[in-house]
A and B are shown apart, each in its own frame.
Chain A
Amino acid sequence: MRTIRILALLAAGSLGGTLAACGGDDAKSGSAAAGAGGPIAVKATDTSCEVAQNALNAGTHVFAITNSGAKVTEFYVYAAGDRVVGEVENITPGLSRELRVELPAGSYQTACKPGMIGDGIRSGLTVSGSSPALTEDALLAQATSSYTRYITSQTEALVQKTGDFVAAVKAGDVAKAKELFPVARTYYERIEPVAEIFGDLDPKIDGREDGATAELPFTGFHRLEKDLWVSGDVSKSGPIADQLLTDVKEMVTKAKAEKLSPLQLANGAKELLDEVANSKITGEEDRYSHTDLWDFAANVDGSRAAVAALRPALEKRDPDLVKQIDAGFQGVETELGKYRVEDGWKLHNQLTEAQLKGLTDVINALAEPISQIAGAIAQK
């Protein structure tokens, strides 16, 4: 939770024109098979992801995904740097969905995500041949649609996991609610700069006790966090939990309709790292549960997604900056990876000052080049 909404300011601001161009409809789940050779079959199970072809000609292709597993799955096509080129989510067991995606020549990865978590089951995909080079403006426009797909995937998981968390709180299952708290927050923290556009919703969902006012009392995730960790009594937390889910759903509806400009993406990527530096490394964010490293990792994920969306345009404008940023993300991943514990993270209060300094250093190393993206994007 923060106070200055740069994204919101920019949304209303003057950088319209080519920068804010939002064209390039993401055209997912299309029904017509417009590709050269008909739909490419993808057989997804809980443990496999068989893509019928791993070499394609440049152009528009349709993937037809069939889920014969027992878990809900997702299918992604990633370009370099895990930029989402195409994505279809919520493929329930037994269902088939189609993904239409335009693929210029290059190296890609496909991924199924059974259970909708993790890096997924990946395979390489090579696209060769020529397709008309995109102009920089078109690349920037693509960034917007690429990021919109990311928002869609994250918000669906957010609603689901927040629902599970709320249900656990209302059932009085403190242990389960504690387990779900950092998981549900992960999806929120990944897209927080978007959530923050919508006025009071972010403070209602993610506000902290010290930020509460008469108009906006202490509610949301952190209020429930306090109930769970400090008193351990959630018998009266039901209304707060219900309101949290209502607010999250409202935010998600609005977020899906939002088209962010490339400049907003660039600033969002930076803001997420500012979040890490200002409130996660300090342990302010999750002061009762100390699960700050979950939020830390999620903020970095979100920043990476925003950068990935901008990557094709950025590579044309400032390839050195892209290299610095890649190295920066690598540095953060290595340092943060030291504190991984199974599917989660060490608690903030288990880290020494020196370890927190190490994390600060890698975030600084990443955030400086990321702060240069907006300028690189804006400068003609």
Chain B
Amino acid sequence: MSDTTVSRRRAMALAGAGVAGIAGAAAVGSAVARQGAGASERLAAGAVSFYGRSQAGIVTPAQDRLHFVAFDVVTKDRNALIRMLKAWTAAAARMTAGHDAGAVGATAGIPEAPPDDTGEAIGLPPSGLTLTVGFGSTLFRDAAGRDRFGIAARKPAALVDLPTFQGDLINPSISGGDIVVQACANDPQVAVHAIRNLARIGMGVVSVRWSQLGFGRTSSTTKDQATPRNLFGFKDGTANLKAEETDLLRQWLWVAAGDGPEWMTGGSYMVTRKIRMLIETWDRTSLGEQEAIIGRTKGEGAALGRDKEFDEPDLAKLGPDGEPAIAKTAHVRLAHPTVNGGARLLRRGYNFVDGSDGLGRLNAGLFFIAYQRDPRSQFIPIQTRLSRNDDMNEYIRHVSSGIFACPPGVTGSDDFWGSGLFA
């Protein structure tokens, strides 16, 4: 392994743990109170409002489960695409409220017709489902350079192609996409149901390019959520942007008026990276080395040289050996805002295990998702630094990549995803 030139990444560890689902369930909006359910369970089962200035699923308290899907648009018909976005929006509003995807429902239709909902979520509560849509640069101009939908001029400058970072092993077939949907819920079946029904509604207009399931959140997006752990066993998301930090969110998360095209105001840019972890070799690394690589203790999650998880890392502090307590190549240092011009991200990643590979190794890692106001001054410089220097790179491989413009929220039942872009 020793291959220190390969991937230097940052994202993952940083923070947090928290065995999802217990205290971590946290507030999920209006509760569908079921008799006998405890408060956290009630909240985890409740509905998150679909409508709003910004899309749900970004600062919404991170749910436990993910189904993420990327689509290619297979039509050249702009009106067909708009029709589908409207149909998606209507279905998303219904499903996030705990209803069936179609107006008729899974079992209320005539027996001769296929149901307009697939049925696997019958009886399940809304489960905090959020559906968040993003547009890739290929929607604006496809790989052949064509402006299929007359929107190339509306492409935001911030929606750049990510550079090839040092050590990247990107598989194009599980990267990119014209349109993506992030489905997060506290019940995996609810998330899968949502994506399945959207894919069905989109047939003939979009085609699934790739999709990813995630089973455990690796970040907290609110202060009352416990920090969860990633598959390295470390807390992930301690230093994440949190919903309560409204000033920081304004500065680092939400696209402001004047940042770019008006249709993105109130939106955010999403970067996805599928990061395979080399689990078996990590597991035989000594505790001391693991902690040195991350720059935090494994148990408490405190920055090295500090006591508590949320104690601010002291990057100048020296250890007993006279070397920095947090090494120059430690993940926490390289990802820290102070070495990145203050840049912050709102991370929303999930652990994944896609079974095992042909060598008997766990095919596992982190599906990294980060939201930000401008990737050119946030994700890209941060990842450039990590990819070159992070000691963690020995144990990770970036295998997929994506960057998407997530438009602002849907304001009401007469509005739809991307209405500003297609106005």
**Are A and B genuine complex partners?**
yes
A85 interfacial by beta-carbon distance below 8 Å:
no
Contact between B203 and A365 (Cβ–Cβ < 8 Å)? yes
8 A-B residue pairs with CB within 8 Å:
A15-B112, A361-B74, A361-B207, A364-B207, A365-B205, A375-B109, A378-B110, A379-B113
- Contact indicator per residue, chain A 259-289, by CB within 8 Å of chain B (1) or not (0): 0000100000000000000000000000000
B204 interfacial by beta-carbon distance below 8 Å:
yes
Contact between B113 and A328 (Cβ–Cβ < 8 Å)? no
User: Which B residues are closer than 8 A to A by beta carbons?
Assistant: 74, 109-114, 200, 203-205, 207
* Cβ contacts under 8 Å, A357 to chain B: 207
How many A-B residue pairs have C-beta atoms within 8 angstroms? Tell me: 43
Residue of B nearest to A14 (CB): B111
* Cβ contacts under 8 Å, B109 to chain A: 375
Shortest CB distance B138–A (Å): 15
A192 to B342, CA, bound (A): 67
Contact between B203 and A368 (Cβ–Cβ < 8 Å)? yes
Shortest CB distance B282–A (Å): 33
Contact between B114 and A372 (Cβ–Cβ < 8 Å)? yes
Interface SS of chain B:
loop
Residue of B nearest to A15 (CB): B112
* Cβ contacts under 8 Å, A365 to chain B: 74, 203-205
Residue of A nearest to B104 (CB): A375
Shortest CB distance B34–A (Å): 34
A127 interfacial by beta-carbon distance below 8 Å:
no
- Contact indicator per residue, chain A 369-380, by CB within 8 Å of chain B (1) or not (0): 101101111110
A371 to B115, CA, bound (A): 10
Contact between B113 and A372 (Cβ–Cβ < 8 Å)? yes
Residue of A nearest to B111 (CB): A378
Contact between B74 and A375 (Cβ–Cβ < 8 Å)? no
**A361-B74, A365-B74 known; A375 vs B203 contact (CB < 8 Å):** no
From B112, B114, B204, give the contact of A364 (CB < 8 A). B204
Contact between B110 and A379 (Cβ–Cβ < 8 Å)? yes
Interface centre among B113, B200, B207 (most CB of A within 10 A): B113
A369 to B74, CA, bound (A): 16
* Cβ contacts under 8 Å, A368 to chain B: 200, 203-204
Besides the known contacts A361-B207, A365-B74, 20 further A-B residue pairs in the complex with CB atoms under 8 A apart = A15-B112, A364-B203, A364-B204, A365-B204, A368-B200, A368-B203, A368-B204, A369-B204, A371-B113, A371-B114, A372-B113, A372-B114, A374-B112, A375-B113, A377-B112, A378-B110, A378-B111, A378-B112, A378-B113, A379-B113
Residue of B nearest to A379 (CB): B110
Residue of B nearest to A328 (CB): B204
* Cβ contacts under 8 Å, B113 to chain A: 371-372, 374-376, 378-379
Shortest CB distance B106–A (Å): 14
Shortest CB distance B71–A (Å): 11
* Cβ contacts under 8 Å, B203 to chain A: 364-365, 367-368
* Cβ contacts under 8 Å, B110 to chain A: 375, 378-379
* Cβ contacts under 8 Å, A374 to chain B: 112-113
Shortest CB distance B168–A (Å): 22
Interface centre among B109, B200, B207 (most CB of A within 10 A): B207
Shortest CB distance A330–B (Å): 11
* Cβ contacts under 8 Å, A361 to chain B: 74, 204, 207
Interface size class of chain A, counting residues whose CB lies under 8 Å from the partner chain? 20 to 34
* Cβ contacts under 8 Å, A372 to chain B: 113-114
In the complex, chain A residues 319-345 whose Cβ is within 8 Å of any chain B Cβ: 324, 328, 331
Contact between B200 and A263 (Cβ–Cβ < 8 Å)? no
* Cβ contacts under 8 Å, B207 to chain A: 357, 360-361, 364
Shortest CB distance A371–B (Å): 5
3 nearest A-B pairs in the assembled complex, by CB-CB distance: A375-B113, A365-B204, A378-B112
Contact between A375 and B200 (Cβ–Cβ < 8 Å)? no
Shortest CB distance B316–A (Å): 53
* Cβ contacts under 8 Å, A360 to chain B: 207
* Cβ contacts under 8 Å, B204 to chain A: 324, 328, 331, 361, 364-366, 368-369
A331 to B113, CA, bound (A): 24
A366 to B74, CA, bound (A): 13
A371 to B112, CA, bound (A): 10
* Cβ contacts under 8 Å, A328 to chain B: 204
A377 to B203, CA, bound (A): 22
Contact between A263 and B112 (Cβ–Cβ < 8 Å)? yes
Interface centre among B109, B111, B112, B200 (most CB of A within 10 A): B112
A331 to B204, CA, bound (A): 9
Shortest CB distance A318–B (Å): 11
A377 to B113, CA, bound (A): 9
Shortest CB distance A230–B (Å): 28
Shortest CB distance A360–B (Å): 8
A201 to B109, CA, bound (A): 34
Residue of B nearest to A368 (CB): B203
In the complex, chain A residues 176-223 whose Cβ is within 8 Å of any chain B Cβ: none
A323 to B203, CA, bound (A): 15
* Cβ contacts under 8 Å, B200 to chain A: 368
* Cβ contacts under 8 Å, B205 to chain A: 365
A374 to B204, CA, bound (A): 19
* Cβ contacts under 8 Å, A15 to chain B: 112
Shortest CB distance A365–B (Å): 3
Residue of B nearest to A374 (CB): B112
Shortest CB distance B77–A (Å): 9
From A331, A366, A369, A375, give the contact of B112 (CB < 8 A). A375
A378 to B205, CA, bound (A): 27
Shortest CB distance A370–B (Å): 10
Shortest CB distance B204–A (Å): 3
A15 to B111, CA, bound (A): 11
Shortest CB distance A172–B (Å): 44
* Cβ contacts under 8 Å, A375 to chain B: 109-110, 112-114
* Cβ contacts under 8 Å, A379 to chain B: 110, 112-113
A379 to B109, CA, bound (A): 10
Shortest CB distance A328–B (Å): 7
